Amino acid sequence: MTHAGYRSLAGRPTLRRPIGVAGLLLIAAVALAPWREAHAYIDPNSAGPLYQFLFPFLIAAVSMLAALRRYIARLFSRLVQAVVTAVRGERTRPETRRDP
């Protein structure tokens, strides 16, 4: 079954979403705005110092997220392994004491 000629990748019908009020306001603003030529010049190296300052912080943040992701993945895999072991009943037997 298709809805207005659209079908999702899963085969379920999808609904078309109407343009909201914000979308209509944006379209009206673009349509009614005066079109003039823009005369501006931006120095190509004006963002250089900012880039040199912020890039190391960006690298540090991404590295921290990668390390945190690995830590969380290890913790989650241990948790899943413990739950699976408990559910399956694959517990190790307690060692019996043997008196000599």
The mean pLDDT of 26-49, rounded to a whole number, is 79
pLDDT of amino acid 26: 87
**Measured distance CA(3)–CA(16) in Å, rounded:** 8
3-state DSSP assignment of residue 7? strand
Name the more confident of 17 and 70: 70
Instruction: Measure Cα distances from 35 to 28, 39, 41 in Å.
Output: 14, 13, 19
Q: Residue 61: which pLDDT band, with cuts at 50, 70 and 90? A: very high
pLDDT digit string, tens, across residues 9-24: 666 665 566 677 888 8
Task: Return the closest-CA partner of residue 15 out of 1, 29, 32, 3.
Answer: 3
Is pTM beyond 0.75? Reply is no
pLDDT of amino acid 2: 47
Task: Count how many residues are written for the chain.
Answer: 100
Residue 53 φ/ψ, nearest 5 degrees: -80, -40
pLDDT of amino acid 80: 92
**How many CB atoms lie under 10 A from the CB of residue 7?**
13
